[in-house]
Amino acid sequence: MTTTLRRLATILTLALAALLGASPSYAQSDSLRIGIIGTGNIGGALARHWANAGHEVFVSSRHPEELQALVDELGPRAQAGLPADAAAFGDIILVSVPYSAMPQVGAELAPAMAGKVVLDTSNPVARRDGAITEFALGLGSGVATAQFLPGARIVRAYNCIPAASLAGQANRQPARIAIPLAGDDAEALEIAQRLVSDSGFDPVVVGPLEVARHFDLGQPLARGDLSAAEYRALIDEVL
Ligand SMILES: NC(=O)c1ccc[n+]([C@@H]2O[C@H](COP(=O)([O-])OP(=O)(O)OC[C@H]3O[C@@H](n4cnc5c(N)ncnc54)[C@H](OP(=O)(O)O)[C@@H]3O)[C@@H](O)[C@H]2O)c1
């Protein structure tokens, strides 16, 4: 489908939803449009899983020509461009950047992300990110990200699974690896759960955005190796 036709379809869907008095739905059968800000180890692995699951992915870089090989690998459901293009494209946005980039990402892209579901994997790490780490870990990174991206419907996700497991252990047997989620928006959490499942992992909603601090790196719930049943048992112990 061309971009124009897709836009027309989206407009018609929104108009129909408005007529019926409902908010736009993300039906289980729909292919979702996902914009990826930060196509590194984590963003790249998720682009592969989501494209394989039938979603449309827009990977981005400040040097988008470097993503051509990935786009070729992913096929017709993928395209590449600048971060601003990915933020405009996606109904869902993945933000997966070094935490020190978050103020710039917020300053440049928050308006384009306002009202959208934003999955945030970004961890504040002192040796890489410097002073912002203390600020973000003090608030909890979910709450901190919400300050940088006002208006976005943020879900903390995929922040405590090692990149190698994310890339190589989708649909692990005998039990899939649990991905803890936290967010304040019920529909955003629903969509995040679907995308985690589509990527080959088991979503576990820990609670509102504020509880994401319990799975910031170094905290007791920061585990990327447990099954959903094991992770739920750990939540019961810790919270
Ligand atoms: N690696 C892990 O095991 C792991 C696990 C869980 C969570 N995380 C967290 O998830 C985030 C991403 O990790 P990663 O390992 O995927 O990192 P990565 O491989 O270094 O990729 C980060 C990407 O962020 C982009 N970026 C950097 N500054 C940017 C800016 N100002 N604006 C837009 N894009 C920018 C870079 O894209 P360009 O340079 O191409 O523009 C780069 O491709 C980090 O916060 C990390 O702590 C990592």
CA distances from 13 to 20, 43, 145, 182, 235 (A): 11, 29, 30, 28, 39
The pTM (predicted TM-score) of the whole model is 0.91
Cβ distance 201 to 176 under 8 Å? yes
Domain boundaries along the sequence of the chain: 30-238
Q: Read off the tokens for 83.
A: 């971060």
Q: How far is the CA of 94 from the centre of ligand 1 (A)?
A: 11
105 lines ligand 1 (CB under 6 A): yes
Whether the bond into 150 is cis, omega within 30 of 0:
no
pLDDT in tens, 44-76: 999 999 999 999 999 999 999 999 999 999 999
Residue in 200, 105, 97, 212 with CA at minimum distance from that of residue 152 = 105
Between 2.60.40.10, 1.10.3720.10, 3.40.50.720, 1.20.1560.10, what CATH number should domain 30-238 receive?
3.40.50.720
Tell me the best of 36, 42, 132, 215 to mutate to test the pocket of ligand 1, counting ligand atoms within 8 Å of each CB and taking the most. 42
Dist CA 204 CA 184 (whole Å): 14
Q: Side chain identity at 126, as an amino acid letter?
A: A
The 3-state DSSP class for residue 125 equals coil
Q: What is the pLDDT of residue 28?
A: 67
16: confidence class by pLDDT, cuts 50, 70, 90: very low
SS3 percent helix, strand, coil of the chain, rounded to 5, is 50, 15, 30
Q: How far is the CA of 2 from the centre of ligand 1 (A)?
A: 30
60 lines ligand 1 (CB under 6 A): no
> What is the Cα 49 distance to its own chain's centre?
12
147 lines ligand 1 (CB under 6 A): no
Cβ distance 209 to 235 under 8 Å? no
Does the pLDDT value for residue 19 go beyond 60? Answer: no
pLDDT in tens, 167-204: 999 999 999 999 999 999 999 999 999 999 999 999 99
Q: State the CB neighbour count (10 A cutoff) for residue 61.
A: 20
Dist CA 207 CA 181 (whole Å): 7
Looking at residues 203-211, what average pLDDT do you find? Answer: 98
193 lines ligand 1 (CB under 6 A): no
Q: What is the pLDDT of residue 120?
A: 99
Closest CA to ligand 1's atom 2: 163
